[in-house]
Amino acid sequence: MTNDRRVLVHDSIDALAWSVAARFYTKLTDILDEQDIAHISLTGGTVGTKVLESIASSPSKAGVDWSRVHFWWSDERFVPRASDDRNEGQARTALLDHLDVPAENVHPMPSTEDFDDLDAAADAYAAELAEHSWEDAPYPPFDITFLGVGPDGHVASLFPDKSGVLVRDRVVISVSNSPKPPPDRLSLTLPVINASKRVWMVLAGPDKASALGLALAGAELAEVPVAGVKGRKRTVFFVDRDAARDVPENLFLSAY
């Protein structure tokens, strides 16, 4: 698994964000040349939001037919839709509100205003994914999945030493005991994330160095969930130098 992963190291968070944005447009153009629809899974977090802002600021956005792009989320906080905790709200402010993307192409995870029951909300999002499924899977294979990585090695809302990271028979799970607030969340499962053609993980800061080093060293999935993430075609970590301090130089790629 380690040999299929690459690390792109950048001098600053700004450089990281602009690098990801440039690669995003290059790859999205290629994807839309090859197929009718692109499916993108978004993430939250400080660095993830900075990346979305850079994508929104790029003049390349004018050359994309956004009617052919669908946006999803890998996880969400189960709170009111207007809550500042929602990844959806962050993504709309940073990116989606700046794109000419049809409302029906944006697929936010349910909020507490949509469902009273967390499990019902998970089932509803799984059903929505199934409406766009193909290749014999009950969900679309995401062309690009953006993920953040927590200092503890969690991705989406799949946390160390919690049962969610080991679930294999569901598309979306409910998380009612998140070690990070708020406690109630929805998350894609690892098989769905790993069905993505490309997984791009963005992380910065010295507090992420341990998680990145453990992931690349092949740590146990249950203890370091990011260690189990692997896209079908490519898995790339976009990091700053602080986060990369424990990474062997032979895994470095020059920044784009």
Task: Convert the pLDDT of each residue in 119-154 to its tens digit.
Answer: 999 999 999 999 999 878 999 989 999 999 999 999
Percent above pLDDT 90 for the chain: 89
| pLDDT band at residue 250 using 50, 70 and 90 as cut-offs | low
Give the per-residue pLDDT at 245: 87
Give the per-residue pLDDT at 252: 62
Give the per-residue pLDDT at 223: 96
The amino acid sitting at 181 is: P
Give the per-residue pLDDT at 255: 39
Quick check: 43 pLDDT over 60? yes
Please state the rounded mean pLDDT for residues 198-212: 96
Question: How does the average pLDDT of the chain come out, rounded?
Answer: 94
Give the per-residue pLDDT at 91: 98
For the chain, what's the residue count? Answer: 256
Q: Which residue has the higher pLDDT, 246 or 193?
A: 193
Give the per-residue pLDDT at 149: 97
Write the CATH number for 226. Answer: 3.40.50.1360
- Residue in the block written with tokens 């290749």: 135
Strand (E) or helix (H) holding 146: strand 144-148
Q: How many domains does the chain have?
A: 1
User: What is the Rg, in whole angstroms, of the alpha carbon atoms belonging to the chain?
Assistant: 17
Dihedral angle over CA of 236, 36, 21, 42, nearest 10: -70
Which of 231, 255, 256, 232 has the alpha carbon at shortest distance from 244? 255
User: What are 174-190's pLDDT values in tens digits?
Assistant: 999 999 999 999 999 99
Please state the rounded mean pLDDT for residues 17-44: 97
| pLDDT band at residue 256 using 50, 70 and 90 as cut-offs | very low
User: What are 52-102's pLDDT values in tens digits?
Assistant: 999 999 999 999 999 999 999 999 999 999 999 999 999 999 999 999 999
Asked if the peptide bond before residue 182 counts as cis, ω within 30 degrees of 0, the response is yes
141: exposed, middle or buried (C-beta count within 10 Å: 0-12, 13-18, 19+)? middle
| Range(s) of the domain holding residue 76 | 2-253
0.85 exceeded by the pTM? yes
Give the per-residue pLDDT at 251: 62
